[in-house]
Amino acid sequence: MRMRTLLGATALGLALLQPAQFGAQAQTLRVMSGAPSSALQVPMNRAVVVESDIAFAELSIANPGIADISTLSDKSIYVLGKAPGRTTMTLLGADGRLISNVEVHVTPDIAEFKERLRQILPGEQIEVRTANDGIVMSGTVSSLTKLDSALDLANRYAPERVSNLMSVGGTQQVMLKVRFAEMQRSVSKSLSASLAINGTLGSSGRRSIAGEGGTWLDADNGIGNPVEVKDGTEGAIALGIGAGSLQFAVLLEALESKGMIRTLAEPNLTALSGQEAKFLAGGEYPIPVATGDGQIGIEYKPFGVEMNFTPVVVDGDMINLTINAAVSSIDNSVTLQTNGITVNAFKRRETSTTVEMRDGESFAIAGLLQDDFRNLNGQVPWLGDIPVLGALFRSSEYQRSQSELVIIVTPHLVTPTRGEALALPTDRVKVPTEREFFLFGNVTGGKAQKGAAGEVARQDFSGSYGYVME
């Protein structure tokens, strides 16, 4: 009896110390004889005391791995949760009669989890509940980063048993504005000269000496034949003189060309946070490819302005962007001919990157500054080295090309608006009536529309507009 009293006091002491260790008081369930008992909720690694209105002689637990039991007295039971799950505790009287079956439900300890959650994420509206042997989280958080932090903390208390019903508040739709701007400038200059002499030299017959300028002189037919000028020559001067049986001719050819190319594209695309969006404005170019049976098939290659991006709203107005952007066009200067089919090459400027910025901020995610220089000097050996007169036996060519490319991205957090507040590009153009077209020669109608569309329609293309790059 003394040993049983000592064991009961020890168990009672553990029951009193256990709640203090976890900062909560032990719960008590009262079992009434002849009345159905309610389920006993036991947090994992915590204790619950069960009291019976009559003394019991025998006590058993169906699954000791879920809960552990010990007697404090003949009417009190100490129940300790060990692992999440459900089991049954049975109480029998001295005559073997069943007193009660108590369902024991051991759940993860969410009291400590809630406390840690309030400390780490103060102010977040997160509700935590238990379901079977897991944790269910619901409510609204202010950012995706805080949602990930809450889930990571929950997995420490219930690994792989967390149900996420939380949503992220605030604006979660992102419009990405991409600007492709490219300037290309090329300068080419060339100057060539040719000197020819035709006549009878001794008994050898007619002879000719041609400079670097080309084969414009036909020695058999004489100098008076039409002059053959190089392709692309913008200026050519031919001079001929005679002295007895000798004839002299000089041909000067000059070329100077300048060119500039400007490319500007501004695609805009809107997507939900975490979802991929694609954009293509251009076309598809057919390319012949060999099939498995030896035939020629057609494969289409897209070209134009392409953009794929995936936005993720990280925290507040901080946006993470994964971007693939490209501008391509058909290059007619490079072709490939095979089996009677001519295929053109492509010019393509492409970038792929991941950046992070706030709403309205801009990043130059790609840039290229290229300067190509080519200088070529050709001459007739020895004769081209003669001072002054050597210029008649030389050809000089100078080429230089410069290009500058920049790609700038700007994300915006956006929300939907009413349809009548949006204006379309077609709103500024009104189809003319027959009277306006045939009588007055107007290609567009004269009456403006109402609302936002009318405001856009009243705009015109007079004055300076667009972009100026110097």
- Confidence at residue 204, expressed as pLDDT on a 0 to 100 scale: 41
| 392 phi and psi angles, rounded to 5 deg | -75, -10
- Give the SS3 label for residue 116: helix
- Confidence at residue 207, expressed as pLDDT on a 0 to 100 scale: 43
For the cut 90, the answer to whether the pLDDT of residue 172 exceeds it is: no
Question: Tokens for 245?
Answer: 């049986």
pLDDT band at 199 (very low <50, low <70, confident <90, very high): low
Of the given ranges (117-121, 176-180, 241-245, 378-382), which has the lowest mean pLDDT? 241-245
pLDDT band at 9 (very low <50, low <70, confident <90, very high): very low
* Alpha-carbon span 87 to 68, nearest angstrom: 11
Query: Residue 89 forms beta bridges with which residues?
Result: 61, 102
Q: What is the mean pLDDT of residues 333-347?
A: 84
| 14 phi and psi angles, rounded to 5 deg | -65, -40
Q: How many CA atoms lie within 13 A of 147 on its CB side?
A: 19
Q: Decide: 53 and 33 in contact? Cβ < 8 Å.
A: yes
Nearest partner of 47 among 74, 6, 73, 77, judged by Cα:
77
Between the alpha carbon of residue 459 and those of residues 447, 454, 463, the distances in Å are 12, 9, 11
Give the dihedral of Cα atoms 80, 82, 87, 93; nearest 10 deg.
Answer: -30
Mean pLDDT value across the chain? 77
Of the given ranges (2-11, 331-340, 391-400), which has the lowest mean pLDDT? 2-11
- Confidence at residue 205, expressed as pLDDT on a 0 to 100 scale: 41
- Confidence at residue 308, expressed as pLDDT on a 0 to 100 scale: 94
Those residues whose C-beta lies under 8 Å from the C-beta of residue 435, and which sit 6 or more positions away, are: none
- Confidence at residue 362, expressed as pLDDT on a 0 to 100 scale: 92
Within its chain, how far is the Cα of 322 from the centroid? 3
- Give the SS3 label for residue 80: strand
411-421 per-position pLDDT tens digit: 999 888 887 77
For the cut 50, the answer to whether the pLDDT of residue 427 exceeds it is: yes
- What kind and span of H or E run contains 357? strand 341-358
pLDDT band at 271 (very low <50, low <70, confident <90, very high): very high
* Alpha-carbon span 243 to 113, nearest angstrom: 112
For the cut 70, the answer to whether the pLDDT of residue 8 exceeds it is: no
Concatenated DSSP letters of 201-228: -TTS-EE----TT-S--BTTTBTTSPP-
DSSP class of residue 118? Answer: H
The 10 Å CB-count burial string (b at 16+, else e) for 426-454 is ebbebebeeebeeeeeeeeeeeebeeebe
The 10 Å CB-count burial string (b at 16+, else e) for 169-190 is eeebbbbbebbbbbbeeeebeb
For the cut 90, the answer to whether the pLDDT of residue 276 exceeds it is: yes
Range among 31-40, 90-99, 187-196, 219-228 with highest mean pLDDT value = 90-99
227-237 per-position pLDDT tens digit: 566 666 666 77
pLDDT band at 75 (very low <50, low <70, confident <90, very high): confident
113-171 per-position pLDDT tens digit: 888 888 888 888 888 888 777 889 998 887 777 888 889 998 888 888 889 988 877 67
- Confidence at residue 310, expressed as pLDDT on a 0 to 100 scale: 94
Which domains does the chain carry? 40-107 (2.60.40.1080), 110-168 (3.30.70.1770), 187-256 (no CATH), 417-459 (no CATH)
444-454 per-position pLDDT tens digit: 776 555 555 55
Q: Work out the percent of the chain whose per-residue pLDDT is above 70.
A: 76
- Confidence at residue 458, expressed as pLDDT on a 0 to 100 scale: 57
Start-to-end C-alpha separation, the chain: 103
Between the alpha carbon of residue 399 and those of residues 185, 331, 396, 402, the distances in Å are 11, 20, 10, 10
pLDDT band at 387 (very low <50, low <70, confident <90, very high): confident
- Confidence at residue 408, expressed as pLDDT on a 0 to 100 scale: 92
For the cut 70, the answer to whether the pLDDT of residue 456 exceeds it is: no
Q: What is the mean pLDDT of residues 70-88?
A: 87
DSSP class of residue 149? Answer: H
C-beta atoms surrounding 393 within 10 Å: 24
Question: Tokens for 348?
Answer: 């393509």
